[in-house]
Amino acid sequence: MAAWASAVRAVLLDISGVLYDSGGVAGGIPIPGSIEAVNRLRHSGLKLRFCTNETQATRGQFVQKLQALGFNISEEEVTAPAPAARRMLKERGLRPHLLVHDALVPEFDSVDKSEPNCVLIGDAAENFSYQNLNQAFQVLLGLEKPILISLGRGRYYKETDGLKLDVGAYMKALEYACDVSAEVVGKPSPKFFCSALTEMGVRPQEALMIGDDIVNDIGGAQSCGIQAVLVRTGKYRPADEHHVEVTADGYVDNLAQAVDILLASRGSGQ
């Protein structure tokens, strides 16, 4: 039996690359076995929460898309960067210049965006034009104390037609151009994982993270004391199993296999 499968009371699931691959006309394709795997987790008595860096849509729209693909998931179960960033902006009196996907903008409708005193970037995809990145750069360089907030720091993700650059690459571009360090909201920020644990009411050592990103999912969770298993789906590449900084607690072919092992462990009296 896998060591990581014992003593688990709560499961944190990454979404993109674990539940489905995004892209295409339907917005994505479920990874084989993952719809059933989520249902089996629900019936197992384990606590369940989804922990995503998705910022190409509001949390509501994103969940609707997943429901249409066949997943049993509700908005309240999802920990996502935009709502966390919105709270942070309000707490600190920050007025963002947004460089985000069009579909994410409504998440910030209630936030004052006049006379920006910070720049907030998400996975803007096609909105990462030269003109838009330049504009964000100029806002930052015009601030006495530049503040750059990044919704995640992923390097790339997988869509149905291939790997795509994620927000982290553009975060690095702005960090370099403006000589600043971004504040990251989302994985791998420990604060983000902690809030997901709080919402489930469990301690780190009782939780298991399942993700396809060796740094942001696995390394991030482990830095909070959460065990973490890497799936060989989504953006996974074989080299991830020999990463210089992060070693997962386990490696599985996909979510379905992770759930098989987890439930077998419970069945055996663990």
Neighbours of 32 (CB within 10 A): 12
Residue 143 lies near a second copy (rule: CB under 8 A): no
Q: Name the token pair of 211.
A: 């993700």
Residue 157 lies near a second copy (rule: CB under 8 A): no
Considering only 95, 172, 232, 266, the residue that binds a second copy (CB under 8 A) is: 172
Residue 155 lies near a second copy (rule: CB under 8 A): yes
Residue 169 lies near a second copy (rule: CB under 8 A): yes
In the complex, minimum distance from the CB of residue 130 to a second copy, in angstroms, rounded to a whole number: 4
Size of the site for a second copy (CB under 8 A): 31
Residue 168 lies near a second copy (rule: CB under 8 A): yes
Instruction: Report the residue number, 137 or 251, with the smaller CB distance to a second copy.
Output: 137
Q: Which stretch binds a second copy (CB under 8 A): 3-11, 28-36, 130-138, 224-232?
A: 130-138
Residue 238 lies near a second copy (rule: CB under 8 A): no
Question: How far is it, in rounded angstroms, from Cα 224 to Cα 207?
Answer: 10
Q: CA 10, 104, 131: angle at the middle one, nearest 5?
A: 130
Question: How far is it, in rounded angstroms, from Cα 8 to Cα 14?
Answer: 17
Q: Which stretch binds a second copy (CB under 8 A): 30-38, 66-74, 88-96, 132-140?
A: 132-140
Q: Which stretch binds a second copy (CB under 8 A): 77-85, 161-169, 222-230, 258-266?
A: 161-169
Q: How many helices (H) and strands (E) does the chain have?
A: 8, 14
Considering only 141, 198, 205, 264, the residue that binds a second copy (CB under 8 A) is: 141
| Helix (H) or strand (E) segment spanning residue 91 | helix 81-92
Residue 144 lies near a second copy (rule: CB under 8 A): no
Residue 175 lies near a second copy (rule: CB under 8 A): yes
Q: Residue 68, CB half-sphere, CA atoms under 13 Å: how many?
A: 11
Residue 24 lies near a second copy (rule: CB under 8 A): no
Say which residue the tokens 């720091």 belong to.
153
Find, among 240, 200, 241, 244, the residue nearest to 224 by Cα.
200
- Output the DSSP codes for 44-90: TT-EEEEE----SS-HHHHHHHHHHTT----GGGEE-HHHHHHHHHH
Instruction: Report the residue number, 169 or 261, with the smaller CB distance to a second copy.
Output: 169
Residues of this chain that interact with a second copy (CB under 8 A) are 124-131, 133-134, 137-138, 141, 155-156, 162-166, 168-170, 172-179
